[in-house]
Amino acid sequence: MLAARVNLKGWQQAAVAFGSAFGALLDPKRADLIAALGETTGKPAFERVLQRMKNSAEGREVLLERPRVISTQVSHAWDMPENTFGAAYAQFMGSRNFSPDDRPPVRFMDTEELAFVATRAREVHDFWHVLFGLPTNLIGETALKVIEFEQMFLPMCMLSVVGGSARFSEKQRTLFFQHYFPWATKAGLKSTDLMSVYYEKHFHEDLEEVRRNWGIVPCPDPKSSSI
């Protein structure tokens, strides 16, 4: 079940967006503020994502069944054989001591359908980490925001790229813009519509196979590749 929604008027949305942006700049670890910023600035983008999902058979199935990436619904990933997408996701979460239940709820969408799309976008984030082979450090998270922007055109994603790169050291900034950024812009465009994928029904499939099927190019090792 999705969290209760808060209906905001135009000026209220602007106020929440401004306050969230300012607070997130002061404390980038405030996931609740970043989430609020994404919701209050992202309605047109989420509406476009919703329409794309309705135009896709698998996307329509996701919208109909409204799966949640929470422990009670994705625990079967931990039972999947080695080399499967599910096993890779379980290893990713377990090795970092992450829980799929930790994400803040969506509060500022106008309809249940849009609230689900926004929730889905938030909850598939870790699937994308696994598929694109990105770490969860500042560079990895910023690179994934580039892909999320390419896929959904959420303003918050580009703001996160700007904010993330501003916190890089000079060495990190050079590495990001010479290696990660060019790869991410290409990878985000090359991939299928990743919001229309019913990931949970592909847990049993080989990781490399699903990557090929979805047009996903994992991030090359910066020590051994030139992009």
Binding-site annotation: residue ranges for Zn(2+): 125-126, 129, 141
Tell me the DSSP string of 197-226.
Answer: --GGGGTTSBHHHHHHHTT--PPPPTTT--
Q: Give every CB contact of residue 81 below 8 A, 6+ residues apart in sequence.
A: 87, 204
Residue identified by tokens 């047109």 is: 44
Binding-site annotation: residue ranges: 125-126, 129, 141
DSSP state of 93: H
Torsion of CA 21, 191, 81, 98, to 10 degrees: -10
CA end-to-end span of the chain: 43
